[in-house]
Amino acid sequence: MKRYVVAALVTAAAVAATAVLPVTAANAAALTATDFLKANGNVLKKASGTGSTVNLRGTNIGGWLTQEDWMSPLGEFAADRTGWTVTASAGTAANALDGSGTSRWTTGANQAGGEWIRLDLGANTLFNRLTVDNTANAGQWPRALNIETSANGTTWTSVATQAGTDGLTTVKFTPQVARYVRATQTVTAATPWSVGEVNLYSDPVLFNGTHTATASASAPGTTAQMVLDGNTSTVWQTGAAQAPGQSLTIDLGRNVDMDKVLFDAGAATANDYPRIYDVFTSYDNTTWTQVASGYGSNRVTQADFQGSKNGRYLRIVSNGTSTQWWSVAEVAISSGTSLDRGGWSVVSSVGATPAAMLDGNTGTRWTTGAAQAPGQTVTVDMGALVTLNNVTTDTAKNTTDEDDWMRGYSLQLSRDGSTWSTVASGVGTRKATTIGFTAQAARYVRLTQTGSAGNWWSIGELTAGLYNDDYSLTNTMTSRFGTATTASVVGTHQDTWFTATDLDNIQATGMNFIRVPIGWNVFLNLDGTWKSNPWTKIDWVVSQAASRGIYTLIDLHTVPGGGCPWGSCGRIGPNPNGFWGSATYQNWVEDIWKKIATRYNGNPAVAGYDLINEPLIDYGEDTDDVAQKSAYYDRLYDAVRAIDADHTIFLGAFFGLDKIAPPSTYGWTNVVYEYHPYDMPNSKDWTAQNQLVTNELGGLAAKLSNPGVPILYGEYSLYYNDDVWARFMAGLNASSVSWSNWSYKVKGSADDGFAYWGLYYDNRKPVPVINSDDATTFQSKLAQFGTSNFTQNTRFVGTIAKYAGGLSTFSPTAISHTGWTATASTTAAGSSAAAGIDGANGTSWQSGQAMAGGEWYRIDMGANRTVAMVTVQTASGSKWDYPRGFTVETSLDGSTWSTSATGIAYGWKRPISIAPTTARYIRITQTGVAPQWWTIDEVTVYSSY
């Protein structure tokens, strides 16, 4: 007998949409038994595959039933505060370390300058960020802070000075190894200073000890190498007033993924920050790619590349003018999520060259040189206390080393090298072993081999990190709060992040589909036992979506051990991650799918079963990897089909069709192949994003022909390019290919490249500190992340709604420039406003001054026109001259103006969709700040798209 968790026959009308959206064709009919989907050839059809064709068009409910830290607010890890003590200039300082956001340390008097709070960390500790939170005491933030560190509590070094902010004040600085930290408030204000909680963090940055630096010039007694020596008291200086072209170049010695660089002018030379900076990366020290630009305004400057950039060399150029010299005391380069192991040392009880496991190359190894036997050890000294929750060992791919994994292990941590605590034990997995444990501080790591085998024990690389992924979050929360309270905290998040109102919003766009990413630990406890009732939220969303005419795809987004190396798969780790070498984990997942299939068998509201999100065994998957992955897919397929013969099964053709077996290999039927195309490194390049769409649409015919199964583009983002989004969705609709963008909601701010991924975005409330906040504080913070506290991404929502109803054409109609005239607020000598509308690439209008906000460019089209999109483009040779922010206004008479769009620019070409309006005049106002001139190569206006 088929079991229906939601009613198969729902007759109630759908709940009316509450959001104000530019929508048409919302599907208000509830799903019934006749809506059951199955594959028929290369399309999905109703009536179990015999009815009308259905193209699924929707979004992902990311960050709801699984953690992804960049998007959802479940928290971040701070430094372990075990053993810390705190003193202050006045008041009850201990309140700043008690985990409660409501208790506070306060000065008890108005800020006069000189108030301080001091931490004793108990031992030298690595950190590079400090936060003080006054959220519960609005207005009582520190007006200015000086952060100092000390090894002995007597001699202090200033590492950062900056203004505070109301709420959470975050101070970033170069990595420090110190026992004491002091935050001093330095100015006056007519209010006390209060701190609910103070925390330290160690964000991963590269160890500079192996890098080299050169400079365009150096003052006598200073060298460029001083920016890498770990001492903020030694400072490189230009020895001359700031002038354009002064440069500092760092050779990392190897290609590295970088995403930020922080540089500190130094305490004694705090005013010697660059007035204008530009940052470049290079592979060869010859050809350079610009990755950041801006104004310096404080002794510590952080340049964000807005995406990872690879290279061996990094160059910072001072392009401003000032009577001050340019000085740099230290540089810190952000890279990845693992701790940089430079400066670590390692010894082993047996074998030679243990340092090989820290050299960045799995092809060089440490090995016992003898059969595995209990008691063999490797011991790492990290040089200072570091908070971590993961240790990984890895070996070279396709070598005999893959079989030299630990047959048993015990992992111990120590603060002093004498007293040890065991934090994990178990059995390793082939090639790579990931060992997770509760976040805690240690200086020493000891890994002991506890099994026996004829194989040697070999380690190509040993890495460690403080990872914020679904597993680590659950592990630490459960350890701190227990199972019941953890469930309550997570429940607060789930009840807040996504509600019936959010389904109303989705329905209002006309979408007929949601993909619901679910973590494996929604179903199971960390030990693999089943939770008492894991179905409540899944049943609820399936039922509520069905009543609104929306299908649900059940997506097992994370698997135990991690099905890929990224946090989005539930656990950060190596290639392959822990899932692929663990028979136990694979058994757990099979059991999960058996129970899902049993529960939702016959349910027409369920579009299907997405077995594993983004399965990836290796970045360079070979034939053996693909065979292993496909064989496990077949195992899950068979397990589901033994229970549920009818639901469509979705399989990840991740990284390409050649990364999964054809359906004929195993006799798979009623399956969909799923793709997730992203080009994250080139997020700001319209051409790259447009080419991605061209490639995907161009390949559809071949994919639909062979292997001839339906396709789902289950995740993708095209950033701020409304026209590229439109072309992609139109093309997919035209081929009856299903899609679900990533994602419904993200917490990123409007100036973050990842913010445009969300239909709702921009919530800057403080997130919980996973290993510090008490449960009450945890829940109170999570309660601030309801959608009403987010901003609707109106232009993105409008673009999605335009195609959610099935529109399959993208025919942008550009308005002829004939008869147009242009004027501007300022115009550089040698350019003209007319050059921005002359239809010729390479001739440009230029503002003639650095962007300061308020610059405008106005077009008179000569007659009233329908305006639906405005594209602002800079010349190919001046791609950094794009407006950093914009307001687009329209007018019928040139006097009365209506605002049609506001936002940030994001790269050299910015298509801006607006609600279609009639206008003769268009005014574009630049609202940001940047050292470049504002340049317009061409403005194109479309009457439709």
At 627, the amino acid letter reads: A
Element (H, E) at 304: strand 300-318
**Crossing angle of helices 500-508/536-547, nearest 10°?**
40
Check residue 339 and report its DSSP letter: P
Phi and psi torsions of 155, nearest 5°: -95, 120
pLDDT band, residue 28 (cuts 50/70/90): low
Tell me, what amino acid is at 395?
Answer: T
Question: What does the alpha-carbon distance between residue 844 and residue 181 come to, in Å, rounded to a whole number?
Answer: 52
Q: Which residues pair with 345 in a beta bridge?
A: 381
Tokens of 169: 């004040």
| 271 Cβ contact partners less than 8 Å away, ≥ 6 residues apart | 265, 299, 324
Across 837-847, average pLDDT: 90
Note the pLDDT tens digit of each residue in 613-668. 999 999 999 999 999 999 999 999 999 999 999 999 999 998 899 999 999 999 99
pLDDT value of position 206: 96
pLDDT at 306: 84
Whose CA is closest to 274, among 231, 244, 250, 306? 244
765 and 785 Cβ atoms separated by less than 8 Å: yes
Rounded CA separation 415/125 (Å): 10
Whose tokens are 């995403």? That residue is 259
Percent pLDDT > 90 in the chain is 92
Is the pLDDT reported for residue 753 higher than 90? no
Distances (CA, A) of 817 to 305, 675, 909, 938: 36, 40, 19, 11
- Label the pairing between strands 671-675 and 649-652: parallel
Structure letter (DSSP) for residue 815? P
Q: Report pLDDT for 17.
A: 28
> pLDDT band at residue 473, thresholds of 50, 70 and 90?
very high
Q: What count of other Cβ atoms lies within 10 Å of the Cβ of residue 118?
A: 19
Band (pLDDT 50/70/90 cuts) for residue 752 is confident
Q: Give the predicted TM-score (pTM) of the model.
A: 0.94
Alpha-carbon distance of 80 to 69, in angstroms, equals 19
For residue 194, the cross-strand partners are 106
What three-state secondary structure class fits 692?
A: helix
Which helix H or strand E contains 547, and what residues bound it?
helix 536-547
DSSP label at residue 434: E
d(CA 111, CA 90): 12
3-state SS, one letter per residue, for 219-261 = CCCCCHHHHHCCCCCCCEEEEEEECCCEEEEEEEEEEEEEEEE
At 415-455, the pLDDT tens digits run: 999 999 999 999 999 999 999 999 999 999 999 999 999 99
Question: According to the model, what pLDDT value does residue 2 have?
Answer: 33
Closest CA to 74 of 787, 773, 755, 762: 773
Q: 630 near 623, Cβ under 8 Å?
A: no
pLDDT digits (tens, 9 = 90+) for 77-131: 999 999 999 999 999 999 999 999 999 999 999 999 999 999 999 999 999 999 9
Between CA 86 and CA 498 the distance in angstroms is: 39
Beta bridge pairs of residue 304: 260
Query: Using an 8 Å Cβ cutoff, are 852 and 875 in contact?
Result: no
Residues paired with 172 in a beta bridge = 129
User: Which residue type does 262 have?
Assistant: L
Give the per-residue pLDDT at 245: 97
Enclosing H/E stretch for 664: helix 663-666
The amino acid occupying position 755 is A
Mean pLDDT, the chain, as a whole number? 94
Supply the pLDDT for residue 495: 98
Query: 24-38, 40-54, 280-294, 319-333: which has the minimum mean pLDDT?
Result: 24-38
Looking at residue 164, the DSSP 8-state letter turns out to be -
Three-state DSSP class for residue 27 = coil
Can you tell me the distance from the alpha carbon of 98 to that of 108, in angstroms, rounded to the nearest whole number? 19
DSSP 748-776: --TTSTTGGG-SEE---PPPPBTTTS-HH
What integer pLDDT is reported at residue 7 of this predicted model? Answer: 33
Picking from 393, 637, 411, 424, the residue whose alpha carbon sits closest to that of residue 526 is: 424
Respond yes or no on whether the N-terminal peptide bond of residue 662 is cis (omega within 30° of 0).
Answer: no
Residues 6+ apart with CB under 8 A from 20: none
397-408 confidence digits (pLDDT tens): 999 999 999 999
pLDDT of residue 10: 31
**What span, in angstroms and rounded, lies between the C-alpha atoms of 148 and 182?**
5
Residue-wise pLDDT tens digits, 216-260: 999 999 999 999 999 999 999 999 999 999 999 999 999 999 999
Nearest to 765 by CA among 786, 744, 745, 751: 786
Span 669-687, pLDDT tens digits:
999 999 999 999 899 999 9
For residues 46 and 52, the answer to whether their CB atoms sit within 8 Å is: yes
What is the C-alpha separation between 140 and 137, in angstroms, rounded? 6
Rounded to whole angstroms, the Cα distance separating 227 from 278 reads 17
Tell me how far apart the alpha carbons of residues 582 and 567 are, in angstroms, rounded to a whole number. Answer: 18
Residue-wise pLDDT for 157-201, tens only, equals 999 999 999 999 999 999 999 999 999 999 999 999 999 999 999
What distance lies between CA 24 and its chain's CA centroid? 32
For residue 698, is pLDDT > 80? yes
Q: What is the pLDDT of residue 11?
A: 28
Q: Which amino acid is at 778?
A: F
pLDDT at 542 over 60: yes
Q: Phi and psi for 791 in degrees, rounded to 5?
A: -105, 135
What pLDDT does 489 receive? 97
Characterize 258-288 residue by residue with b for buried, 16 or more Cβ atoms within 10 angstroms of its Cβ, and e for exposed: bebbbbbbbbebbebbbbbbbbbbbeeeeeb
Torsion angle defined by CA atoms of residues 783, 788, 791 and 793, in that order, rounded to the nearest 10 degrees: 120
DSSP letters for 186-232: -S-BSS--EESEEEEE---B--GGG-EEEES---TT--GGGGGSS-T
CA distance 340 to 358: 10
Residue range 30-55: average pLDDT?
Answer: 97
